[in-house]
A = this chain, B = another copy of it.
């Protein structure tokens, strides 16, 4: 096996080595049953145990109240962008969206197909470099949508807005990374491929009474009620991706759950922000108080030096560090599974670079 790379990809992203080893074994043969996890019926006892374990572990980790359903769906956050207004926003009703980045904006575009969208707050004026502090919520609005972490721009809602209407959150890039009160939300959704497993499954946590408030006829695959009543087995689910999520939850519980991973995440992010703040050659792109603990974005004072820094990263076995084209510069995604060792390698490179170029 070649030396394992330091994986700073924004998603699909690094997974714990323990998870990879166990998943690799499961693909050959699951649990000594003479069959691979990827060739057994989703209605078999063996897979039934896997999906139940995934749900139970997630409920424990996030302390999910009983009046919420946990679903494992397909289509990624992008299908949720459409499913949520399709189910819950009538033609003449208004939903409030916060415009805090690329994915927030795409959620807005999909919602416009189904009803009225009111932009309650936006940070577009400064290239999404901060999180708005006030949200305008008109009377009668159906729900408020936020994107808790903005992968591309490196910002994060550090306090969840207290509102009197149902709160819907895209947590694709920071689910399971910090302590959070699930009961504040009507819906939490997240593609699994950052903190909760691998690509191919979307986690949806939805208050059951909210799921009932459907405003128009919807196809069965896009109807939360159907998925709830069939416990995510309405059709053939993404078996392997659910298996990897289960293993990822198991790993997270084994290291101490959310409190411990939050501690680690704060420590990892601090180390990187500290070196970025120390040297003037680095220009972090997000406002200090809104900086993401998951995606750390910066440019160089002299963009001519980008090639040099990229080369140094490459030589240190670092991958996935190039910034998104909408922001430029660099991005270090430091999800749950990224080991401290990888952070230290990056910090060393940044320190060396900073010392050389000031």
List A residues at the B interface (Cβ < 8 Å). 1-5, 7, 9-15, 20-21, 23-25, 27-29, 32-36, 38-42, 44, 74-79, 81-82, 86, 106, 109-110, 113, 191, 193, 198-201, 217-222, 234-241, 244, 317, 319-320
Contacts and interface: CB of A to CB of B under 8 A. Distances in A.
Contacts of A9: 39-41, 44
A12 B220 contact: no
Nearest to A28: B24
Q: Which 6 A-B pairs have the closest CB atoms?
A: A82-B219, A200-B238, A5-B34, A74-B74, A24-B27, A38-B198
Q: Please give the count of copies of this chain that the complex contains.
A: 2
Which residue of A12, A14, A78 has the most chain B CB atoms within 10 A of its CB atom?
A: A12
B11 A236 contact: yes
16 contacts: A2-B34, A4-B29, A9-B41, A12-B40, A23-B38, A39-B198, A74-B76, A74-B79, A74-B200, A76-B221, A79-B222, A81-B219, A113-B219, A193-B239, A200-B200, A238-B241
B15 A29 contact: no
Given A75-B75, A76-B236, A191-B236, A27 B38 contact: no
Given A81-B219, A235-B78, A38 B25 contact: no
Contacts of A217: 113
A29 B1 contact: yes
Given A35-B7, A220-B82, A199 B2 contact: no
A82 B241 CA distance: 23
A135 B4 CA distance: 59
- Interface of A, secondary structure class, is loop
Nearest to A2: B34
B317 A12 contact: no
Given A74-B238, A191-B236, 14 more contacts: A1-B29, A2-B32, A12-B236, A14-B39, A15-B36, A21-B28, A41-B320, A78-B220, A79-B219, A110-B219, A113-B217, A199-B236, A199-B240, A200-B238
A76 B235 contact: yes
Contacts of A25: 24
A221 B76 CA distance: 9
A226 to B, nearest CB: 10
Nearest to A197: B38
B221 A78 contact: yes
A118 B232 CA distance: 31
Nearest to A241: B200
